[in-house]
Amino acid sequence: MTPIRLLIHGASGRMGQSLLRLAAADSGLHVVAAVSRGGADDASGSLPASRMAEAPAFDVAIDFSLPAGLAGLIDACARHGAGLVSGTTGLGSPEHAALDAAAARIPLLWAPNFSLGVAVLQGLVRQAAAALPGWDADIIELHHSGKRDAPSGTALRLGEALAAGRGQPPRYHSLRAGDAVGEHSVQLSGHGERLELVHRASDREVFARGALFVAGWLAGKAPGRYRIEDALAGPKTLS
Ligand SMILES: NC(=O)c1ccc[n+]([C@@H]2O[C@H](COP(=O)([O-])OP(=O)(O)OC[C@H]3O[C@@H](n4cnc5c(N)ncnc54)[C@H](OP(=O)(O)O)[C@@H]3O)[C@@H](O)[C@H]2O)c1
């Protein structure tokens, strides 16, 4: 089987390093370019974002970076007819509009969280909120002190699930401390009782594994904007 050619965008970051490590151990994947803002002279295939036009042909780009880099990456994917998997959070309406427009030309999947547990949590939250519409709803999230956006993209997605179930958005509480990988607690509080649904990620490889799985799933798909639920329809393959 020909390996899937990957471009890793945000390669020097925490997620990028995790992706490079896991991809190197997978014979079905071949990283042809490792792009970051500054680039790095030591890694093979390393490229500064300003020279993205020099990237060799690739099948799928995996992006964990900052919103500012997204437009250039979308152009590169369109030029190469490649798919895009993005986990970058903190996107505003212009970036989401750019993703919607790009979906006419390339297959793409953006998700604020690539863990299987959070995908399941999403459904549980919707169900609980629908059953307890009058209860107070709060989302408490904790991430490492280097995370820039708040509330986290995952908290906002869980908030959408709560709002869909109960008709009202929740309150958000964001903590930034130490090296926490990511915790999300959804609390529904009634009189004399409280329901808590909690997800804790202890290793960022969870997200990297999910993104690599999705990249394999997305390669060769028709243009369109896909959802993580589409790709996780066969979760047995994600360990
Ligand atoms: N969806 C998920 O499951 C999930 C999980 C974890 C994290 N995330 C999100 O992923 C993103 C990255 O997280 P991280 O912890 O890896 O961050 P990080 O350690 O700060 O790394 C950021 C990376 O992005 C690069 N970068 C920044 N601006 C860029 C630009 N304009 N063009 C190209 N590359 C650029 C940086 O390059 P330089 O080093 O050269 O500046 C660096 O390689 C964040 O938005 C985070 O919230 C999502």
Q: Locate the ligand 1 atom nearest the alpha carbon of residue 112 and give its number.
A: 1
Catalytic residue among 80, 143, 184, 199: 143
Q: Scanning the structure block, which residue is given the tokens 């190197």?
A: 24
Give the model confidence (pLDDT) of 119-150 as tens digits.
889 999 999 999 999 999 999 999 999 999 99
The answer to whether residues 204 and 18 touch, using CB atoms and an 8 Å cutoff, is: yes
The answer to whether residues 112 and 152 touch, using CB atoms and an 8 Å cutoff, is: yes
What confidence score (pLDDT) does residue 23 get?
Answer: 97
Under the phi-then-psi rule, with left for phi > 0, alpha for psi from -120 to 50, and beta for the rest, what region is 148?
alpha
Catalytic residue among 30, 96, 147, 173: 147
What confidence score (pLDDT) does residue 239 get?
Answer: 39
Residues with CB under 6 A from ligand 1: 9-16, 35-38, 49, 64-66, 68-69, 87-90, 111-114, 146-147, 204, 207
Between the CA of 127 and the centroid of ligand 1 the distance, in Å, is 32
What confidence score (pLDDT) does residue 234 get?
Answer: 55
Q: Scanning the structure block, which residue is given the tokens 């993580």?
A: 228
What confidence score (pLDDT) does residue 235 get?
Answer: 43
Between the CA of 81 and the centroid of ligand 1 the distance, in Å, is 23
> What pTM was computed for the model?
0.90
Look up 147 and say whether it is catalytic.
Answer: yes
Low-confidence residues of the chain: pLDDT under 70: 40-44, 234-239
Question: For residues 112 and 108, what is the distance between their CA atoms, to the nearest angstrom?
Answer: 14
What confidence score (pLDDT) does residue 154 get?
Answer: 96
Q: Which of 8, 12, 15 to mutate to test the pocket of ligand 1 (most atoms within 8 A of CB)?
A: 15
